[in-house]
Amino acid sequence: MKRALVTIFFALTAVLAPPAVHAAGDDSPAPAGVPVDADAEAGKAAIRAQNWKGAIDAYGRVAARDPRNADAQNWLGYAYRKSGNLDQAFKHYDQALKLEPRHRGAHEYIGEAYLIKGDLAKAKEHLAALDRLCFFGCAEHADLKKAVAEYEKRKQ
């Protein structure tokens, strides 16, 4: 019985899991045969260095070349949020979610932006979206859930 459940679990995981894609903002090396985007690499480095202007410039070039790149839009939103420009952050997160409605990073980060704005209800909408997307849990859900809990604690 246990073996059957394990087999079913792995079969469902394979079917439900999104395809492996080298995200423009992750720190893992590109898989063999995938060309490295110098601007995306510069954007990653700028994010790590908390150089928000550099990240905006680099990911702006990525997005200009590939306007359908949800990861570039997400990282632009992130850099704008961190630089204090929430209007531009929301614009790019919204674009990322239009391009890829299941983009977990964009849901997490826009939820955090809504907390900065003081809109707990909208943050919880994105937390609920992550709850649906992360069947077995994910870091994005855990991070936004923690941010929501901290926000609620501060507002008591």
The predicted model scores a pTM of: 0.79
| Mean pLDDT estimate for the chain | 86
Q: What's the angle, vertex CA 70, arms to CA 109 and CA 50, rounded to 5?
A: 50
Asked if residue 18 lies in contact with residue 102, where contact means CB atoms within 8 angstroms, the answer is yes
| Domains in the chain, CATH or no CATH each | 37-155 (1.25.40.10)
Residue-wise pLDDT tens digits, 38-53:
999 999 999 999 999 9
Enumerate residues 6+ apart whose C-beta is below 8 A from 25. Answer: 40, 43, 44, 47, 71, 74, 75, 78, 105
Residue-wise pLDDT tens digits, 60-83:
999 999 999 999 999 999 999 999
Predicted local confidence at residue 13, as pLDDT: 42
